[in-house]
Structure 1
Amino acid sequence: MVTRKFTKLALLATAAIACSLPAKAASDYPTSTLAEYVYGCMKANGENRDMLQRCSCSIDVIASIVSYPRYEAAETFKQMGLVSGENGALFRESAPAKAATAELKRAQAEADIRCF
């Protein structure tokens, strides 16, 4: 009986402490990266309050799936792959480029399902 009361009190104390601690950031993405993503998403999908919510949700989902360094690498491969000719081929056709791009596409697909 005493053990149950102690266990309940311990659980309540743990919950109280957890609720009083500041929440850990959902991601380590810089604010500028988050804003850039939301801005581009809204430009592509509509500039209204609903799209603000959906685009913000989208980057949050992506951030929960892909770490910032991996996101940054995938975005770099994607942008550099736009360079024409042999200069961009490395960024389009290499195994690391394909893997990073595929990971980002999977995260974006998951974000589309959850947010749009």
Structure 2
Amino acid sequence: MKTFLIAGVFSIAFGVPSIAQTVAERLNDYPTEARADYVFGCMAANGQTRIMLSKCSCSIDRIASILPYEKYVEAETVLSLQQVGGERMSMFKGPQMNQAFVADLRRAQAEAEILCF
């Protein structure tokens, strides 16, 4: 308790970001470009309407609240490499670790679809 009080006073006195800002930054760790890319892809697949813009934006916000950006990038990378043919890319189609990245993203997308669409 005393540590939090000292940290709060220190942050107010010296302009250090507060604990609330740290949480907000953690929840908003997806770069704008990544969010926009997701929304453009979502709208291309589902329709170019204002309603779909809202639903797709909701979807990436929900995914971002569930999955840290680093894990999102890992899963997207695995998915894009799985689409490439050839022997060299076969290593990305099988290992369980790769599938775990994709499974986490799929679960986040499923929750986002239920809540946003």
**What is the TM-score of this pair, normalised by structure 1?**
0.77
Cα displacement string for residues 47-96 of structure 1 (whole angstroms, at most 9, x for unaligned residues): 01100000000000100111000000000000011111322211111111
Aligned to 1:111: 112
Aligned to 2:91: 90
Q: 1:32 Cα deviation (Å)?
A: 0.4
Q: 1:39 Cα deviation (Å)?
A: 0.3
Q: How does 1:59-98 map to 2 (within 5 A)?
A: 59-98=60-99
Aligned to 2:47: 46
Structure 1's consecutive aligned runs of 4 or more residues displaced over 3 angstroms after TM superposition are none
Structure 1 segments unaligned to the other structure (5+ residues): 1-20
Once residues 88 and 27 of structure 1 are traced to their aligned partners in structure 2, the CA distance between those partners, rounded to angstroms, is 32
**Structure 1 residue matching 2:93: 3-state secondary structure:** helix
Aligned to 1:30: 31
**Structure 2 residue matching 1:44: 3-state secondary structure:** helix
The AA in structure 2 aligned to 1:101 is V
Larger Rg: 1
The AA in structure 2 aligned to 1:29 is Y
Once residues 63 and 93 of structure 2 are traced to their aligned partners in structure 1, the CA distance between those partners, rounded to angstroms, is 21
Aligned to 2:7: none
RMSD: 1.6
**What is the TM-score of this pair, normalised by structure 2?**
0.77
